[in-house]
Amino acid sequence: MTHRKKCRIWWPDKLARVEPSSDLLLFGWYMTCGSSVDAVVATAVPMLKISACFPRCEDLKEMLHFANGKMPLQLQETSAFAILGQCVADPYADSELVDQNKNLLSGSKFKQQQCIGPAQNFSLKDKNLDSMDGQCHEKSCAGAASDYNHRRWKCGCKALEGLIEHHTNSSIRSGNWIQLLYRSKRMLGEESKVIPELHHIHLNGDTIAACDAHVLIYDQPSYGRNHLSLSSWGFSLQVRSPSKKPNWINDLQKKPFLDLDSVILALNCSNAASVLLDHRIGIVNPVIHFFCKPILVVFIEMVWHFVAVIVASISSITYLFLQFFYNYLSRRSQTFFFVLEKMFQNTWKNVHIRSCQILYWPIFLQDTSFSSQSNIEYAHKAALQKHFNWSSVGVDVMLGIVFGVLLLINADAIWLKILAVVHYMTDNALRSGCVWLMGVPAGFKLNTELAELLGMISLNAVQIFSTLWSFMSTSLRYIIEGLALSGIVFGLTVPAALCIDLLKLATLHVTTLHWLISFLYSQQLQALASLWRLFRGRKWNPLRERLDSYDYTVEQHVVGSLFFTPFLLLLPTTSVFYIFFTILRTMITFVCILIEIMISVLHAVPYAEILLWFTRRSRFPSGIWFESISVPSMYSHADYGQSDEGSETLLSLLHSNYATIGQVIGPHYSKTFHGVASSFGKSLAYGFLSGQRIPSTLHTNLPPSLPWIRIGFREYWTLCRSSMLSGRL
């Protein structure tokens, strides 16, 4: 039993809104998959206009070749941009079409010797394309217009005079061609649309009249407005397939019914193909077109050139300053440069990121080739990436300016507040805490000698810090002004990173004391664990990472007993000091992590995408769905000479689901915090209890650090100017 052919016609909504006054020539892509055929219509042009604009067949062939070359390679490998067929505007004006419909119903397929004539599918994959050059010759369009409505082939296709007539036989015998009919307008909801109906198709040399036709009306994707996508926005779902697939999955893979990925790609490229075709057809006299250009457009272009020169000059001056400071630091001593980078690690990283973002902006805005922009989905994602870069820098700089101005206005108050906080932490927290630990803290009896030793070391370190702070306090105002200026120049993330580095430098004495006490604490724990294994007759095997049995001597047991007792009795004293300094270090680390999270959030927030989501949600598609339309026809099939055994036409509207605000911003945050270990809390707890290293950062993923750009001043100025001109609207 042979299955009926399924023909899906993807029809642009803009063609369904206007009722044509003449017959149209359809341009688009053919895609066959099993027993189904997909005809993606990109645009439709009146036949007489094609004959007038392309007097020679070489011109039309060159235009199709040019348009197909601008398409993505994936689409070129799947299908070629070609002439799909014709659409008859008024079938009632010609009574011969009714007779042709009746002839077609005598059999679903018949040999093409009955058809002598029209319809060339200008597919670049047609093996007979090269042999057509010898058949091409120029003809007058007047002759074509004179008997255009008087000739018709037996299959129902109108005979086309001029350049298309010479390629008809090859297309019908071995190519693809589709014949559509226009009916009167139908009301779909509140709008009236003109819906085409399938008359017959030529598929690989066979004429098929009885097939299941499905017309799908889609809103043609265009740059800056909308596009279509099958996957969820921003998420690449990877489903782990089972080891053994069910039989029905294997059957679907063997007999694919619909290659929807290729169809969606063609739909996203349909507007680019339509623009290319309209552009080639519209260029009749470029000189007249230039002089007829509106004066306002010329004035805007002149102003835009002037703005491009100004922006390029300012960017080039900034480029010179950044290059000067970078080369100055690079020429310094390598040891000094290394120490400076380690001391201000967070600041250096954020300054480098911001400098590269400032220097690379003309490269980000460089206009790409039309082949990459022809796919609206790719063009939209590339545009969002550009918008993400400039919006992130712009918002960060504006916040930095506000932060810097407020800091400069309140510099005296902030200076006094910092002095008071440092004095309080030094006297009330550190000195009083160390003295409290040297006595009887919370009623615990500690080892007096060890407590006094650790307390005196801590007090001396605090006194050294107080002495240094008395000298540095006079320079604190200049540090505050430096923070404000860094925020005004580089944005809020740079002074925030500088605060982390300054906080670590200001609490270096606490970090050093915590490292010393934690080293003693961890060594005591390891010694007690080793001695406990000695008493049990076990020994840790570091090669196999396991506990093995071991026979210790009597002398080893005696020495172990002598060491075990003092280590165990001194552990409470060391533990009290360790807990005290660990709490202080954890508070400092917690503040640094909060600032780090704020920096990561500022880098990751997609400000432009959030604004676009509120204004134009169609830029964020998340899957598609079809709305089936059941509209009673005003005319029966008998009006066209068709019976119920002919084509069954379905009608659907293609719609897109839109991503939520969480789906839009979620991938950015997941990418930023992807490097954060899921066991961060476990590592923190283990380090706190065992005296090992406590993690002091989340290791978030900041924007990638680009290599430092090194080109000439004039070349950079030219690059900035060309980027501004290529990015004009």
| Range list of H helices, 537-648 | 554-604, 607-615
* Domain limit, last residue, from 573, 605, 637: 605
Distance (Å, rounded) from C-alpha 710 to C-alpha 525? 54
Please write the tens of the pLDDT for every residue from 118-128: 333 333 333 33
Instruction: At 221, give phi and psi (nearest 5°).
Output: -60, 140
Q: What is the predicted pLDDT for the residue at 646?
A: 45
> Structure tokens of 21?
């006054």
Same domain, 265 and 374: no
Q: Decide: helix, strand or coil at residue 18.
A: coil
Is the domain of 147 the same as that of 127? yes
Helix (H, G, I), strand (E, B) or coil at 34: coil
Look up the pTM and report it: 0.77
Does residue 700 lie in a domain region?
Answer: no
427 with 561, same domain: the answer is: yes
How far apart are the C-alpha atoms of 532 and 386, rounded to whole Å? 62
pLDDT at 166: 52
427 is a domain residue? yes
Total domain count for the chain? 3
- The count of C-alpha atoms lying within 13 angstroms of the C-alpha of 302, restricted to the half-sphere facing its C-beta, is 6
Q: Give the chain's mean pLDDT.
A: 77
- CA 438 to each of CA 281, 480, 580: distance values in angstroms, whole numbers, following the listed order: 93, 37, 12
281 and 310 co-located in one domain:
no
Q: What tokens does 661 get?
A: 């605000």
Q: Which of 326, 342, 375 is the last residue of a domain?
A: 326
Please say whether the beta carbons of 28 and 270 come within 8 A: yes
Question: Could you tell me if residue 46 is inside a domain?
Answer: yes
Q: Is residue 314 part of a domain?
A: yes
348 within a domain of the structure (yes/no): yes
**Can you list the alpha helix ranges (DSSP code H) found in 605-622?**
607-615
- State the residue for tokens 């780090």: 596
195 and 65 housed in the same domain? yes
**pLDDT less than 50: residues of the chain:** 1, 94-95, 97-98, 102, 104-151, 235-243, 248-249, 252-255, 284-291, 369, 632-647, 729
Query: How far apart (Å, rounded) are the C-alpha atoms in residues 163 and 179?
Result: 19
In this predicted structure, what is the pLDDT of residue 67? 87
Residue pair 152/94 in contact by the 8 Å Cβ criterion: yes
Residue 184 lies in a domain: yes
Give the C-alpha separation, 377 to 174, whole Å: 34
Whether residue 612 lies inside any domain: the answer is: no
Question: Do 589 and 470 fall within a single domain?
Answer: yes
* Short-list 589, 429, 424, CA closest to 500: 589
What is 210-255 written as a DSSP string? Answer: S-EEEEEEE---BTTTB---SSPTT----PPPPSS--HHHHHHHHS
Question: Looking up tokens 């200076």, which residue turns up?
Answer: 415
Of 605, 640, 665, which residue sits at a domain end? Answer: 605
Q: 451 and 466: one domain?
A: yes
Cα distance between residue 466 and residue 461, in whole Å: 9
Is 27 in the same domain as 169? yes
Q: Are residues 282 and 304 in the same domain?
A: no
Token output for 341: 């980078």
Across the strands, what pairs with 628?
A: 652
Strand 186-188 to strand 191-193: parallel, antiparallel, or no bridges (unpaired)?
antiparallel
Domain hosting residue 306, numbered range: 293-326
Per-residue pLDDT at 282: 64
Query: Which residue shows structure tokens 């590269």?
Result: 356
CB 631 within 8 A of CB 186: yes
Q: Report pLDDT for 291.
A: 44
d(CA 604, CA 583): 31
CA distance 539 to 531: 10
Same domain, 560 and 442: yes
pLDDT digits (tens, 9 = 90+) for 600-647: 999 989 999 999 999 988 889 988 888 887 654 444 444 444 444 444
Asked if residue 19 belongs to a domain, the reply is yes
How many whole angstroms separate alpha carbon 266 and alpha carbon 84? Answer: 14
224 shares a domain with 321:
no
Alpha carbons 684 and 590: distance in angstroms, whole number: 11
Clarify whether residues 382 and 233 are in a common domain. no
* Distances from the Cα of 13 to the Cα of 43, 71, 654, angstroms: 10, 22, 10
- Residue 499's pLDDT is what? 93
Angle CA 712–714–716, to nearest 5: 70
Q: What is the pLDDT of residues 272-322, one digit of tens each?
A: 888 888 877 765 444 334 445 567 767 778 888 888 899 889 989 989 988
Q: What six digits make up the tokens of 515?
A: 């490292």
pLDDT in tens, 475-502: 888 899 999 999 998 899 999 999 999 9
